[in-house]
Chains A and B, each alone.
Chain A
């Protein structure tokens, strides 16, 4: 039994995905079925299971390890899953998306993400990466009638396949270097080699693996797919993949670069620093000129990837814990904001252009206030979650003396505040046309409440979660 303990959270999510699939199969045409419920049960169950496994350090088959690091990411991912399900319940049906497929694929994607966070073998990481990628490709194009959806999905798929190939190639070189794909054996092999001059092989390994990760976290210059995919996908899919894929990819990124490749820090830190700086700058500067909210949040997510990379570059305990905490704050803020965009839309109008928000304050004061809170959290204003996240990440960078990166980070966050505020200006300071007010379903209210409470809780009383985050990194690294 202990052999299987580590995969219990994964299994729960996979089972709920299968249940969603079966439900769709036996559903009579036209019959309404609360399939989102399976997703909710699955995500909540996996979160509970992860909580029970805390400190157990269980390992399955030598390739999946539920250390606290993986479990923390699991809980982040389950939060993402729960919020996605809550917001999707109403919006998916409205947009005419086949519910069973949508939920099943989302849950399989979630399963892949959890696996990626817990995998301790490069090949398993690759398999997990493919599971989640395939799910997300399909989700991006799930509105078959939509041309932008198809374009985004195709672009994402093509570029994604390339990057997977790079990643796989990197695994091959890592194997050539160390004779294994297990992270701990690679670590042993590399640390014994590290004394000598780094070979071309190590450069190739680092570079190719990094490219694979850069693509998934949408770091510049591997970000080209992000705006198109985010804009083309249904809004809730955008929300799911901008937070979930990022969390999973960063988990694996941290695990690979700060464990087996840790001894090669001097080689990869300068490269990562350059990429992080460019990512932060491009993400915010290009974000300023966007007029579509989803594209804007796509560029914002690129910038946030840059901030998160500072945690890896710092390469210390503060940095690792900061990445974990930041992923959680980013997830709740971004899901909240995109969830509101999704809720405001209708079958005809996705409500994702900036001008759609004009005068929203007059018609939907509550939603406008919440949107403002989520956007300010993304911008890093106290006393909201995003502030603590940014502060934690920049602390890590400053601790290691990376002042320049921290300065670029804070200055670009000022620029990002400019475009987050463009939405606020639209909502509060622009006259708009009176629009119909779609009634908020109970599930959506639950989701918004959860996200808002989380944003304030993480912003005002972050102690508990910060402690959990720093506990999480102790066990493996």
Chain B
């Protein structure tokens, strides 16, 4: 019951906000509305912490499971539960939403009630995605999430907000509808094999698909998630959406929404279609590395800070996908950890950019310079978050990237070598930006009298900086509870191949994927390779 309460509390808050707003837009109600929204988001965060407190870290099983029939005629259930992976993503969502609301305290004045409504509705959708264990339910949350984000970008964004909002919604929807077809196809396949129509993830894990079907279904899932991540070359919506979104939108977008893509790969695409996943893993890894380097190079030349941070997300998320593609314990744990890190540190960077943009109404790097003398406390926070983003040891980013690189090295050292270049490049573009903004003489007269952190901004920076350091020093607080769950996913992905390897008697060639087996003619020199091997599915 606690899980459902956590998921739907923000939605309740959204409705309360709407009622409190009443008719029209009386200015004097704004503080009330803001405080109600903040209260609900903090309460939700507290609930996610409660879930963490009572979470049993020793088991890989789903906890807080709730299961009710929803549309019994189609085997659709309201089936939710969390394991060590989704737990922390929920906590991250709970952590970032109050910060997002707080960050727009002074920058959003247009229709505050609706703004808070959409942020809270979005939170319910995000939490829903992480807890769903029924694919239909998952898709409902996944698709519903687009609507509040669309409005957040489209109404409260910057100049080209309408273009960015429409591009965001169409791009992500185009990917996800194909996934819907694959979900339906998978459920019918399950029905054909067992006679029961079910959308439950646990049932669908057991479906055995013919290779061709698995190939296409995996692609449909992977493309939907790759767009969300965004993996190169599906990233073109991201800079637009990020740059045009209001600060709160960017924080949530970078902090949580992008993680849904990688979470989806880990929870759905890989374990549902293990053979295809292993077949495509090198390609995913390659695209991830291209994204790491490409994102970094493009970030380097951006004159706009927000765009720089946006492209840095492409690069950072490339690391996450690389770790997933490696599919070993270090790689995947590093990936999950890096999802959390990126949420905190990039969320923090967007807050920083938002603060500068609130003060100066510009985000161009060339407009700033020498801020260290003017606002030292602000710059100190900026520095720590920047270092976390670069992955300096003792910050959270280091743990994640290090684990990913270890995992990836075990899997494919060439890709890892290129990925490591990305680590250096990220230091280049982040530090260069940091230097141009904060060091040197104050070149622009307008910057001379900028106020330092306000109490509200302290409230934003302190938790963010604290998390960057805490996660860098005590990674085991997070890594231990997620370990059983990560292990289980890896086992599931590798199990089918392992079973095939055992089934095949010694002396026969066992291929990495059935596809390769099909292509290889039996008479190609090796010992007897009967075609039946490829018919295991």
Interface residues of A (CB under 8 A from B): 365, 376, 381-383, 387, 391, 394-395, 398-399, 403, 406-407, 410-411, 413-414, 417-418, 421, 425, 428-430, 462-463, 466-467, 470
The distance from the CB of B195 to the nearest CB of chain A, in whole angstroms, is: 14
Residues of A within 8 Å of B144, CB to CB, are 381-383
B173 lies within 8 A of A398 (CB):
no
A274 to B165, CA, bound (A): 34
Q: Which of B74, B139, B162 contacts A382 (CB 8 A)?
A: B139
A425 lies within 8 A of B154 (CB):
yes
The distance from the CB of A282 to the nearest CB of chain B, in whole angstroms, is: 19
B178 lies within 8 A of A407 (CB):
yes
Contacts A382-B139, A429-B161, A462-B71 aside, 7 further interface pairs with beta carbons under 8 A come to A382-B140, A382-B143, A383-B140, A383-B144, A417-B169, A428-B154, A463-B71
A428 lies within 8 A of B178 (CB):
no
B32 interfacial by beta-carbon distance below 8 Å = no
Q: Which of B72, B74, B174, B181 contacts A414 (CB 8 A)?
A: B174
B177 interfacial by beta-carbon distance below 8 Å = yes
Q: Which of A407, A429, A462, A470 contacts B154 (CB 8 A)?
A: A429
| Closest B residue, CB atoms, query A466 | B73
Residues of A within 8 Å of B185, CB to CB, are 398, 403
B467 interfacial by beta-carbon distance below 8 Å = no
A399 to B190, CA, bound (A): 11
A-B CB contact pairs (8 Å), 7 listed = A395-B74, A410-B178, A410-B180, A413-B177, A414-B177, A418-B166, A421-B150
Residues of B within 8 Å of A414, CB to CB, are 170, 173-174, 177
Residues of A within 8 Å of B136, CB to CB, are 391
Interface residues of B (CB under 8 A from A): 23, 70-74, 136, 139-141, 143-144, 146-147, 150-151, 154-155, 161-162, 165-166, 169-170, 173-174, 177-178, 180-181, 184-185, 187-188
- Which A-B residue pairs are the 4 nearest by beta carbons? A410-B177, A382-B140, A398-B184, A429-B154
A383 to B178, CA, bound (A): 18
Q: A398-B188, A429-B155, A462-B71 are contacts. A403–B181 as well, Cβ < 8 Å?
A: yes
Residue of B146, B154, B178, B184 most packed against chain A (CB within 10 A): B184
| Closest A residue, CB atoms, query B141 | A382
Q: Which of B146, B162, B184 contacts A394 (CB 8 A)?
A: B184
Residues of B within 8 Å of A429, CB to CB, are 154-155, 161-162, 165
B151 lies within 8 A of A428 (CB):
yes
A126 to B223, CA, bound (A): 48
Name the prevailing secondary structure of the B interface residues.
helix
Residues of B within 8 Å of A463, CB to CB, are 70-73
A462 to B71, CA, bound (A): 7
The distance from the CB of A368 to the nearest CB of chain B, in whole angstroms, is: 11
Q: Which of B23, B71, B188 contacts A399 (CB 8 A)?
A: B188
Residues of A within 8 Å of B188, CB to CB, are 395, 398-399
The distance from the CB of B155 to the nearest CB of chain A, in whole angstroms, is: 6
The distance from the CB of A32 to the nearest CB of chain B, in whole angstroms, is: 30
A414 to B175, CA, bound (A): 10
Residues of A within 8 Å of B178, CB to CB, are 407, 410-411
A425 lies within 8 A of B139 (CB):
no
Residues of A within 8 Å of B184, CB to CB, are 391, 394-395, 398-399, 406
| Closest B residue, CB atoms, query A373 | B147
Residues of B within 8 Å of A383, CB to CB, are 140, 144
A381 lies within 8 A of B154 (CB):
no
A470 lies within 8 A of B73 (CB):
yes
The distance from the CB of A243 to the nearest CB of chain B, in whole angstroms, is: 24
A421 to B154, CA, bound (A): 11
Residues of B within 8 Å of A394, CB to CB, are 180-181, 184
B155 lies within 8 A of A428 (CB):
yes
Residues of B within 8 Å of A382, CB to CB, are 139-141, 143-144
The distance from the CB of A395 to the nearest CB of chain B, in whole angstroms, is: 5
A387 lies within 8 A of B170 (CB):
no
B162 lies within 8 A of A398 (CB):
no
A421 lies within 8 A of B169 (CB):
yes
A137 to B217, CA, bound (A): 47
Residues of A within 8 Å of B177, CB to CB, are 410-411, 413-414
Q: A406-B181, A425-B162, A463-B71 are contacts. A387–B155 as well, Cβ < 8 Å?
A: no
| Closest A residue, CB atoms, query B166 | A421
The distance from the CB of B484 to the nearest CB of chain A, in whole angstroms, is: 32
Q: A383-B144, A417-B170, A418-B170 are contacts. A398–B72 as well, Cβ < 8 Å?
A: no
A428 to B153, CA, bound (A): 11
Residues of B within 8 Å of A470, CB to CB, are 73
A79 to B180, CA, bound (A): 30
| Closest A residue, CB atoms, query B72 | A463
The distance from the CB of B143 to the nearest CB of chain A, in whole angstroms, is: 5
| Closest A residue, CB atoms, query B18 | A369
A388 to B209, CA, bound (A): 26
| Closest B residue, CB atoms, query A426 | B162
A381 lies within 8 A of B143 (CB):
yes
Residues of B within 8 Å of A395, CB to CB, are 74, 184, 187-188
A411 to B169, CA, bound (A): 13
A280 to B73, CA, bound (A): 28
Residues of B within 8 Å of A413, CB to CB, are 177
The distance from the CB of B483 to the nearest CB of chain A, in whole angstroms, is: 34
Residues of A within 8 Å of B166, CB to CB, are 418, 421, 425
A387 lies within 8 A of B173 (CB):
no
The distance from the CB of A220 to the nearest CB of chain B, in whole angstroms, is: 21
A467 to B72, CA, bound (A): 9
| Closest A residue, CB atoms, query B24 | A365
Q: Which of B143, B161, B181 contacts A398 (CB 8 A)?
A: B181
A463 to B144, CA, bound (A): 20
| Closest B residue, CB atoms, query A399 | B188
